[in-house]
Amino acid sequence: MAAVFLRTLIIYVLLIAVMRFLGKRQIGEMQISELVTTFLLSDLAAQPLVGASVPMSYAIVPIITLVCLEVFFSFLPTKIGFMKKLLDSPPSIIIGKGKIDRREMMRMRMSMEDLICELQLAGYTSPAEIDYAVLEPNGKLAFFPADEEKPLTKGDFCNIRAAEPKSLAHPVIIDGKIMEYALRDAAKDKKWLFSALKKAHVNDVGEVFLMTVDDAEKTEIITKKECGA
Amino acid sequence: MKTFIAATIIFALLCSAIFGISSAVVQRLGELTALALALPEDAGEFSPPSERLLSQTTQLGTLWEKSMHFFPYIMGYEMLDRADEAALSLAAYAKSGEQAEFLAAKTRFLDSVARLRELFGVNFSAIA
């Protein structure tokens, strides 16, 4: 009895420590690997608690191994380009410029019912109200309403915002890495990218922390120097 | 970055600990195997039990008991049960001088230890 109590204490403390180690993302928006890790962790932690013949090392070793691997595989894609391609699926534009991309929906195995359900949950009644719908890597749909559907803001009253319609900003460079999928979504190529950088007096892609381009070719560049990255 | 470095250090420590513990387990199992193989088998040693038989069996029993202080942290009791039972039988049959049972227990002990060595050593056959 005392052994089970002590085992529970140890496993609980270990789990709290590893979940803290995994970070806040674990609690809210989980990616596929994080979801799998969380399920595995709970199952592994339960083993020595229910089976007295199962040694503690059977839980501790795999839990630590899984958490370390999870940290590696969430960190490495941010630094190594091919790892990002291998492990992260890029965001998918389901509705672009007000038009539903059925091919992309089929690729994402998303039905029209799913899209309508998500729209309604987000407070919209029809896809016509949406300019852009982006399926994020964490599985959530982000909606960008059409101008006429946007709620009024203080900025609108003060006429600070320009009247021109806004479009989705594609992150073509993140942390010094060119995002091929974003370039493709923005219908741009590397030649255009380098000329835009040159225009902004940026000599190297590595200097850029974030560069976005929208459909009106409006670019925004934040260099690593500016944000202290 | 800090988390990544910490994870790398923890992972390296874990790998070293696993390798170190596995090596220690294999070494101890090797010692137990050597002691068990050296146990006498001749009929003359059993009626009555010779000093050599009793001392070697006690030596093996003591080392096994010592090992049982750390083996359960690494392998489950279910894995150890067969070898534990064989080790106890060896001591009992050595004292009673029952040669046939002693030899059967010795074979069982050697086989159990060989299985543990295979399962808990650093080798790919243990994956199965």
Please report whether residue A165 resides in a domain: no
How far apart, in whole angstroms, are the C-alpha atoms of residue A36 and residue A208?
Answer: 33
Whether the CB-CB separation of A122 and A141 falls below 8 Å is answered with yes
Helix (H) or strand (E) holding A30: none
A64 and chain B in contact, CB less than 8 A: yes
Query: Do residues A133 and A95 lie in contact, with contact meaning Cβ atoms separated by under 8 Å?
Result: yes
> Which residues, listed in sequence order, are joined to residue A134 by a DSSP beta bridge?
A93, A142
ipTM above 0.90, yes or no: no
> Which CATH number goes with the domain that contains B114?
1.20.120
Average pLDDT over chain B reads: 87
The pLDDT of residue A161 is 54
Judge whether A188 and A172 are in contact, CB under 8 Å. Answer: yes
Chain B residues lying within 8 Å of A23, measured CB to CB: 3
Q: Answer yes or no: is A41 within a domain.
A: yes
In the three-class reduction of DSSP (H, G, I as helix; E, B as strand; rest coil), residue B50 is classed as: coil
Number of domains in chain A: 3
Q: CB B75 to CB A64 under 8 A?
A: no
Residue B46 token pair:
């059993």
Residue A155 domain flag: no
Q: Which residue of B has its CA nearest to A76?
A: B4
> Whole-angstrom distance between the N-terminal and C-terminal Cα of chain B?
36
Instruction: Kindly determine whether residue B14 and residue A54, on different chains, have CB atoms separated by under 8 Å.
Output: no
Q: Is the pLDDT of residue B124 over 60?
A: yes
A55/B74 CB distance under 8 A: yes
Average pLDDT, chain A: 81
Do A190 and A220 lie in one domain? The reply is yes
- How close A65 gets to chain B, by Cα (Å)? 7
A217 inside domain: yes
CATH number at A222 reads: 3.30.240.20
Q: Which amino acid is at A102?
A: R
Asked if A21 and B7 come within 8 Å (Cβ–Cβ), the reply is yes
Question: Which residue in A194, A213, A219, A191 sits closest to A204, CA to CA?
Answer: A194
Q: Examine the domain organization and report whether A55 and A104 are in the same domain.
A: no
Model confidence at B70, pLDDT cuts 50, 70, 90, reads confident
Domain range for A64 is: 2-74
Please write the tens of the pLDDT for every residue from A61-86: 889 998 888 888 888 877 777 777 77
Q: Count of domains in chain B?
A: 1
Pick the residue of B1, B2, B5, B11 with the most A CBs within 10 A to test the interface with A by mutation: B11
- Which residues form the domain of B123? 2-127
CA distances from residue A9 to A5, A12, A16, A49, A66 in whole angstroms, order as listed? 6, 5, 11, 10, 20
* DSSP 8-state class, residue A146: -
Regarding whether A64 and A6 lie in a shared domain, the answer is yes
* Residue A76, Cβ density class (10 Å: 0-12 exposed, 13-18 middle, ≥19 buried): middle
B 24-53 → A contacts, CB under 8 A: none
Beta bridge partners of A135: A92, A141
Q: Quick one: A10 and A67 in the same domain?
A: yes
Provide, as residue numbers in chain B, all residues whose Cβ is less than 8 Å from the Cβ of A65: 11, 14
Q: Is the peptide bond before A62 cis (omega within 30 degrees of 0)?
A: no
